[in-house]
Amino acid sequence: MRNAAFITAIVVFLGAGLAWIWWPDEPDEERPMGERIVKSDAEWRQVLTDKQFQVTRQAGTERAWTGEYAKCHQDGVYTCVCCGQPLFDSKTKFESGTGWPSFYEPAVDKNVVKKKEGILPWAPTEVLCSRCDAHLGHVFNDAPSQPTGLRYCINSAALKLVERGSETSEKE
């Protein structure tokens, strides 16, 4: 009987440990509550196209080379298509050959949240807008020719390019 209790305790302990390890990461950035934008899916559908909704609110991925910014070289600031928060600067955009807009760093670090999709070393890291939780894409460390070595692989459908200086973080 003592053995059974001991084994049960071990199983419970290991189970709790595994649950703790596998529990999805919370975004690790501190985010002031007042700046958060939270909307229902129905509300998001009113302001987004189907493609934008699928990518940003359902973590979808547009097909390579189909996004409007894949080959874009225009100067400006890429803002969140959902909430208007500035995310990436065209000056950090580079040709990755992947078919998705690629940047080597965010325009403002705190505007972009990174979230590991699991504990395995090769698990991808999701990139989200810190203000409205829009799924933007993923970040990889496979760009050694870039200043940071990082490649933020972002869906065009999650972005809106605006003229430098006219970006706003006040869009509702």
Q: How far lies 130's CA from each of 57, 66, 110, 168, in Å?
A: 13, 26, 7, 15
Residue number with CB closer to Fe ion (139 or 143): 139
For 119, phi and psi rounded to 5 degrees?
-105, -10
- Using the minimum distance from each CB to Fe ion, give the nearer residue, 80 or 143: 80
Least distance CB 56 / Fe ion (angstroms): 8
Question: Catalytic: 132?
Answer: no
As measured in angstroms, the least distance from the Cβ of 78 to Fe ion is 11
Whole-angstrom distance, CA of residue 114 vs CA of residue 32: 17
Site map (CB under 5 A) of Fe ion, residues 102-131, x = contact: ---------------------------x-x
Instruction: Check residue 136 for interaction with Fe ion (CB under 5 A).
Output: no
Alpha-carbon distance of 44 to 63, in angstroms, equals 22
Whats the size of the chain, residue-wise? 172
82 belongs to the binding site for Fe ion (CB under 5 A): yes
Tokens of 74: 């225009």
Write out the binding residues for Fe ion, residues 2-21 only, by CB under 5 A: none
How far are the Cα atoms of 5, 98, 157 from residue 37, in angstroms, in the given order?
49, 31, 19
Cβ at position 119, least distance to Fe ion in Å:
27
Interface ranges with Fe ion (CB under 5 A): 80, 82-83, 85, 129, 131-132, 134
Residues with catalytic function: 153
